[in-house]
Structure 1
Amino acid sequence: MRQDNGKKGEVYGFDGGKKVKGRKRHIVVDSQGFLIGVLVTEANASERLGAVVVLDEAKEKLSKLELIWVDSGYCGKNFANALKQVCGERVRVEVIERTAKMFERLPRRWIVERTFGWLNRFRRLSKDYEFYTQVSEAMIYGSLIRLMVKRLAS
């Protein structure tokens, strides 16, 4: 029997930058927005470390990968070097940065945001209902598999 301490599972944290508590979803998608890899971590986990881990887990699927588009939260030489160690020397990292303080649609960054929007259509993924992160990751895979199958069928 588990004690109810107000948390949903052991992987749970507070992200001071975004002022949210809970979990982060790190995803890797192709240029069409289809899921390649996913990792669910606590909210206070490093985004760069999460990206390296999810790319390491999905590296068999990324054998022909040459270019990775990331937002400004993933910039830096250390991150680029870590990706080269995980994905190989042929991979280069291109950072998509904002030029103005106001809203602008950035090229290529909207692909990941659209995928997160697709996930929010599913009631089970609209909030963090799961106790275990593995179940949360499985729900994300299942939801996006359903979307891909629907597109293949039409």
Structure 2
Amino acid sequence: MRHSSRRPCRYPSDTSVAEWALIEPLLPVPACRTKTGGHPEKWPRRDIVDAIRFIVDNGAKWRALPADFPPWQTVYGFFWRWNRAGMVAFIHDQLRRRIRTDKGRCSFPVTLIVDSQSVKAASTVGKDSRGYDAGKKINGRKRHIVVDTLGLPVMITVTPGDARDEIIARDLLWRLRLTHPQITQVWADSAYSRDLLPNWAADHLWLTLRPVIRPKGTKGFVVLPRRWKVERSIGWIMNARRNCRDYERLPQHSEAHLNWAFITLMTRRLARKGHRTDSWTKKNRPAD
């Protein structure tokens, strides 16, 4: 039996009507509406999205999903398939463009900021995808986050904790050049200036990598120009309890949880402003 009725909204992580109007058109077309065909989906998609957001916001186990949501196996299946198909990254890309356009910015950023964050890993994280960060003295994983000048996500990569920033940055910058050819410069901390990385980026990617150096003689916390924006973004995603520690067996699923935290942040920001979404959602809906 198909469940066409929706559950009542009772959790802080549930989507509002305005948020759902932003997200729904960006989700992939149901299989039953494609040329290849398929069975109609049993559960409303808004319930699926609310369940994923509940897990990210509250840090619960999948098996501990409240009974008023669809079965956890169903929710996890959508979470896994949407992330594998690239839909989660697609959604946050479209929302970022909407926010930038509303602020009078170009929808495609040309200046980015990159930084990394080491977090402890739970026992569910295997040895093959975790490592010890000697600098931070953390045994776990490292998140490499690239944001625009508004602090909105552009690319997220999760690696073992012992991965060196300047080595991962080569692959990260290469992917950025392929997917965002309009980028001209990237700001980073001093760790990204090692191993002649700025020269490599200029010679091979025609990209300017500008390290932000900490002032000499300073101690404790210091707000550094431009870098504070990516550090603020890291603080935003840490408000979602699932992201306070890494529990995922696959790094790709860790990236998905981070992206869903950003999606919630952006949809709430857009919903508060009360902008019309009809024309924008029709224009950005994925093709059938």
Global fold match (TM > 0.5): yes
Shift of 1:61: 4.1
Q: What residue in structure 2 maps to residue 96 of structure 1? A: 212
Structure 1 residues 85 and 28: CA distance shift in structure 2, 3 A? farther
Q: Larger strand proportion, structure 1 or 2?
A: 1
Shift of 1:101: 2.8
TM-score by length of 1: 0.86
Out of 25, 30, 51, the residue aligned to residue 143 of structure 2 is 25
Q: What residue in structure 2 maps to residue 34 of structure 1? A: 152
Letter of the structure 2 residue corresponding to residue 11 of structure 1: S
The reply to whether residue 111 of structure 1 matches residue 254 of structure 2 is no
Q: Which runs of 4+ in 1 moved over 3 A?
A: none
Shift of 1:56: 2.3
Q: Distance in 1 between matches of 2:137 and 2:162?
A: 10
Q: What residue in structure 2 maps to residue 16 of structure 1? A: 134
Q: Distance in 2 between matches of 1:38 and 1:84?
A: 22
Q: Distance in 2 between matches of 1:54 and 1:106?
A: 23
Shift of 1:85: 5.2
Q: How many residues align?
A: 147
The reply to whether residue 66 of structure 1 matches residue 184 of structure 2 is yes
1:69-90 Cα shifts (integer Å, max 9, x gaps): 111111146211332356x32x
The percentage of aligned residue pairs carrying the same residue is 36
Q: Larger helix proportion, structure 1 or 2?
A: 2
1:14-57 Cα shifts (integer Å, max 9, x gaps): 01122110000001110001110011010111111222222323
State which drifts further: 98-107 or 25-34.
98-107
Q: What residue in structure 1 maps to residue 251 of structure 2? A: 133
Structure 1: any 5+ residue segments left out of the alignment?
Answer: 1-5
SS in 1 for 2:197: helix
Structure 2: any 5+ residue segments left out of the alignment?
Answer: 1-122, 273-288
TM-score by length of 2: 0.48
1:99-118 Cα shifts (integer Å, max 9, x gaps): 13313211101011101101
Shift of 1:62: 2.5
Out of 117, 139, 145, the residue aligned to residue 263 of structure 2 is 145
SS in 1 for 2:173: helix
Q: What residue in structure 2 maps to residue 3 of structure 1? A: none
Letter of the structure 1 residue corresponding to residue 154 of structure 2: I
Q: Distance in 2 between matches of 1:61 and 1:69?
A: 18
Letter of the structure 2 residue corresponding to residue 94 of structure 1: R
Q: Larger C-alpha radius of gyration, 1 or 2?
A: 2
1:104-153 Cα shifts (integer Å, max 9, x gaps): 21110101110110110001111111111010011111111221122122
Q: Distance in 2 between matches of 1:77 and 1:137?
A: 27
